[in-house]
Amino acid sequence: MSHSDSHAFEHGHGDSHAAGHGDVKSYVIGFVLSVILTVIPFWAVMDGGLSKGATFATIVVMAIVQIWVHLKYFLHLNFVTEDGKASSWSFIFSALIIVMVVGLSVWIIYESNAMMMY
């Protein structure tokens, strides 16, 4: 063990670094939740017992919950620590920019196509 490793170990810095990146339990919980959140909408579509509106709502709700699960258990984004807040806000800003670029691009393509019809 080098001097810097023993210093980090003695003062507990090594543990906090590993905890910030998750552990096996966190990944297993995330994986199990992801599988469940994938199977529910798949079942709703394949069974066909729900109305179209209820099926669509089930898919959308499960997708939103699954996004949250991925952000929490796999990307480890949180608003508890200062570093976590910075990571979370930068992720939200990046996601907003991507949504705007994709949404506006689709809108421009749609409007261009509509104008070509005249």
pLDDT digits (tens, 9 = 90+) for 4-13: 554 444 444 4
76 burial via Cβ count (<10 Å: 0-12, 13-18, 19+): middle
Q: Characterize 13-38 residue by residue with b for buried, 16 or more Cβ atoms within 10 angstroms of its Cβ, and e for exposed.
A: eeeeeeeeebeeeeeeebeebbeebe
pLDDT tens string 20-52: 567 899 999 999 999 999 999 999 999 999 999
pTM: 0.64
